[in-house]
Chain A
Amino acid sequence: MALKRPALEATISNALSALVVGGAAGAVVVIALIPMIAGLIRDGLAARLTPTMTSVASIAIGVGATVFLITQLPIFLIWLERKIAAHIQDRLGPMRVGWHGVLQSFADGLKLLFKEDIIVDGADKFLFKLAPFLTIMGAFAAFAVLPWGEGLVISNLNIGLLYAIAITSLGAIGILMAGWASNNKYALYGGMRSAAQMVSYEIPTAIVILSVVVQVGSLNLSDVIAAQQGGVGGVTNWFIFRLYGLNVIGFILFFICGLAETNRNPFDIPEAESELVAGFHTEYSGMRFAFFFLAEYGAMFFVAALTAVLFLGGWSGPFFSGPLVLFVKTLALVFVQMWLRWTLPRLRVDQLMALCWKYLIPISFVVLIAAAIDGVVGS
């Protein structure tokens, strides 16, 4: 018997779908207009408050906007990932909740909110509760140094890149902590693997970042973007096109390391659902599990954005510049991450180590040395 959906339910579903799709379109417009909005807010604040209060208030607004973005964005990214996965496998993916399943992530989020927050008896309760927050903090605090446009950065640190490397590594500690505190063999395996992965992948990541730093001469992300502006069509000065094509290798290396850092396929060995049940978050349920999920997608977005900033010119684009350019570039890279996930099988732990120590680190050193020689010869 076909279930007749009540008319009210259908109306609500359609209305919510329209709201979400319209909201996404509105968000794109808002992102495009951020420089203008930010300018207006800054002027308005400066007219009413003292300079110190103005800077405090603008930082608070920036933090609020970023937190809103990075908590809402994973909802969209999860839906996108499920649709991409489904279509790559010739399936349809979520189709029921709202228009083409756009409300599916909201429904899942609601479900996770209502779920019981189980803490297993044998767990180290304090660490078990702390771990998801550390992971999500590592993923989201990194956004503080990400420049969205001319002067549009929450904290214009002069050691921004160093901060980014350091704070994203915090996520691995959260994962290790979750694995240890769960008192579960699968979770512990996941945590251990994550630690092994972090030890391997932080090195080539740092070296590739160093090769960019050598070319810029600054650790400040705004300076990195400033160094990439100009050129033919506003494109040729991007770092990916510089250094006689060697930066393309650097870009690919950084992208691979980014995959490893966010525990994405083919480097999702800490999760490894076919081997380790669910890896480090085996024992987590409800909102704590959702935090791990949000952290993964937040980290994905940050790593993609960092790649765009380091190699693809950040917010400077061929036709116009602004937050929307960075947003589009980042989403394109996130799409490649998802595309790779549904293409490649998972690496074994030893294969991962071999790839890192035998291939990525030597090649990244070659890129760094070439950048250094070029810098010395050029100056």
Chain B
Amino acid sequence: MKNYLSNIWVTAKTVTIGMIITFKHLFTRSVTQQYTSEELPEERWKSSIVPDGVLQDRSRMRLHVKIEDCIGCKQCEKVCPVDCITITTEKREKTEAPLFAADGTAIKQKVVQFDIDMSLCCYCQLCVYPCPTECIVMTPEFEFAETLKSNFLYRFAKEKPAPPEPPKEEVAEPVAAGGS
């Protein structure tokens, strides 16, 4: 009997506590941020989603590579769990002028290909952490829908790959021309 009555008491008490909690939440501010307010111009609703243009903590969106800082270490390529990054590098000749990244690291590799396939990207941000020069970053850009899958392939490399070694006959020709 004692158990019976205490059961009733506990039920009434816990239901009351729960109802008080939910009633308080009824009047707390919603945490939802509306995706877009159609009446507002683009800049304004974007700033309302991302307050002051600053990303929310740990939000992860489209990748961007500051290619002029990239030293071609390929750490991002190795760490990528879905292999969406493809990097090709070429050794810089000693004769070329020394290049430095923004933090002073010497750039010894020429990055001739730096492709990120955003259709594969899983937004894990694992590539961002190991980058020694912090040149691969997550941007606040989140609207990049495309009609063609190939448009998701973002090519960041600026350097052109060195032209293939010309065949020997072709090298010989200008010499012959010079001789005549």
Contact = CB atoms under 8 A, between A and B. Distances in A.
A359 interface: yes
Contacts, number: 55
Interface string A1-39: 111110000100000000000000000000000000000
A343 B19 contact: yes
Nearest to A363: B8
Interface stretch (A81-89, A181-189, A218-226, A289-297): A81-89
Interface in B15-73: 15, 18-19, 21-23, 25-32, 34, 36, 38-42, 45
B32 A91 contact: yes
Nearest to A2: B42
Contacts of A340: 15, 19
Contact of B8 (A1, A4, A343, A359): A359
Contacts of B19: 339-340, 343
A2 B36 contact: yes
A88 B36 contact: no
A344 interface: yes
A90 B28 contact: yes
B165 interface: no
A341 to B, nearest CB: 10
Given A1-B143, A90-B31, A343 B18 contact: yes
Contacts of B22: 88, 339, 342-343
A88 B21 CA distance: 9
B35 to A, nearest CB: 10
A130 interface: no
Given A87-B25, A340-B19, A359-B8, A2 B38 contact: yes
A340 B20 CA distance: 10
A339 B19 CA distance: 7
A69 interface: no
Contacts of B29: 90
Interface of B: 4, 7-8, 15, 18-19, 21-23, 25-32, 34, 36, 38-42, 45, 143
18 contacts: A2-B38, A3-B38, A5-B38, A10-B38, A84-B26, A86-B30, A87-B25, A87-B27, A87-B30, A89-B25, A90-B32, A92-B34, A340-B15, A343-B19, A343-B22, A344-B15, A344-B18, A358-B4
